[in-house]
Amino acid sequence: MPSNKSVSDAPITQFVNCRILRDHSLQREDLWVREGKILNPEKLFFDEQGFADHKVDCGNKIIAPGFIDVQINGGYGVDFSQVTSDIKGGVALVARRILEHGVTSFCPTLVTSPPAIYKQVIPEVTLTDGGEEGAGVLGLHLEGPFISLEKRGAHPPQFLCSFEEGGMPDLLKIYGELENVAIVTMAPELANSGQAIRDLVRRGITVSLGHSMADLSKAEEAVQHGATFITHLFNAMLPFHHRDPGIVGLLTSDRLPADRTVYYGMIADGIHTHPAALRIAHRAHPAGLVLVTDAVPAMGLPAGRHTLGQQDIHIEGLHACVAGTTTLSGSIATMDMCVRHFRQVSGCTVEEALEAASLHPAQLLGISHRKGTLDYGTDADFVILDDTLTVRETYIAGHLVWRK
């Protein structure tokens, strides 16, 4: 016998006149939210005989899970790889500004730096759920310094490291601690890297392969040790070759554990990857594609000279290069821009473009039970977009945190 007493007296919001991204398709139904979670309306009606306290008319727009950026080096003048007097304040500033691009969670990323920088920055970055103050922090992404000299890209060579004994002692010597670290990018061809991969995975940290000269068999070995991600596919790795496709070959490898999905980051800014390469990757392995911005501190700032970690960066148009060179050093693209570009040049569906920025990064980090979907019981982090995939509103825990 259903009770008339509501399980919770918290107010219920019903979003109507919308298309919701659920189960890989846009469905015309309402979205119900209470206490920061997505509600199952059937349970609400039949078990609680509840009803909505507030209705929001979405004007036939799309509701998609909030975007998750797992590789962002900074923005708006903030460089996550620089020690300042207010590291927390810098992270908070970026967290607040990226709400307008639909990002509800992110991984602040540190490029290759001297050990002193890691030891000062890592303890200052704390995990947050996000809210009106800004997007949630899911953990740090440490991109380097255990990477290849030849494929270092914009990473300063003097701070690159190798593994002496492999494993946790080497990692802790450089990073100081691994609390609040979500992802570590490393080159799997480095001697003793296998032990480091296993130790990181054991601690629940995602290992990504990147800035690497690895051939396919080395990459497959790393995945067998527990690696699950590729940092900005095609960039800073051996180019695809038909006799040894290198790390790129992981997208269609038949030598991976049966229960393992390999995900790969793509910077869909129209500069880092040719549209044809983006299409090849998407068609070969659509379920693994994760859109990342790889945004540098100059994102949101005018052209000219800026910094990234220990390097000077020159911005011209959408190009960010190490000053005085043609070496690309991250992007100044925003996540909503990447979603639109990916949709346009890949010919993928709207649903696939949105899931590459939400569901896939959540699956990569093992948090899809609470983020990256609009399933019942998950966090009510979502974006409302028009048909051009322009973000109109951003919500965290069911609360409006940004409106265009």
Does 236 show up as a binding residue in the annotation? yes
Rounded Cα distance between 85 and 75, Å, is 17
The full DSSP string for 342-402 is HHHHH---HHHHHHHTTHHHHHHTT-TTTSSS--TTSB--EEEE-TT--EEEEEETTEEEE
What is the Cα–Cα distance from 91 to 107, expressed in whole angstroms? 10
Cα–Cα dist 12/48, whole Å: 12
Give every CB contact of residue 150 below 8 A, 6+ residues apart in sequence.
213
243 assigned to a ligand binding site: yes
Nearest to 267 by CA among 238, 233, 237: 233
Residue 333 assigned as binding residue = no
Q: Of 144, 106, 112, which is closest to residue 125 (Cα–Cα)?
A: 106
Ligand-binding annotation for 328, yes or no, is yes
Tokens of 225: 């040790």
Known catalytic residues are: 294
What does each C-alpha distance from 158 to 145, 150, 321 come to in angstroms? 10, 13, 19
**177 is an annotated ligand-binding site residue:** no
Neighbouring CB atoms inside 10 A of 277's CB total: 15
Q: Is 100 annotated as a binding residue?
A: no
Of how many residues is the chain composed? 404
CB of 63 closer than 8 Å to CB of 27:
no
Two tokens, residue 362: 């959540």
Give the phi and the psi of residue 278 in degrees, each rounded to 5. -60, -45
Asked whether residue 211 is marked as a ligand-binding residue, the answer is yes
C-alpha pair distances (Å), 394 with each of 87, 110, 123: 25, 26, 29
Q: Which H or E element spans position 14? A: strand 12-22
232 is in an annotated binding site: yes
Q: Annotated binding residue at 272?
A: yes
330 is in an annotated binding site: yes
Beta bridge partners of 65: 382
User: For residue 193, what are the contacts with CB-CB under 8 A and spacing of at least 6?
Assistant: 146, 163, 166, 186, 187, 222
Cβ–Cβ < 8 Å for 200, 174:
no
Virtual torsion, Cα 170, 224, 283, 183, nearest 10 deg: -30
Binding residues, as ranges, are 143, 154, 211, 232, 235-236, 243, 272, 328-330
Binding residues for Zn(2+), as ranges, are 143, 211, 232
Binding residues for substrate, as ranges, are 154, 235-236, 243, 272, 328-330
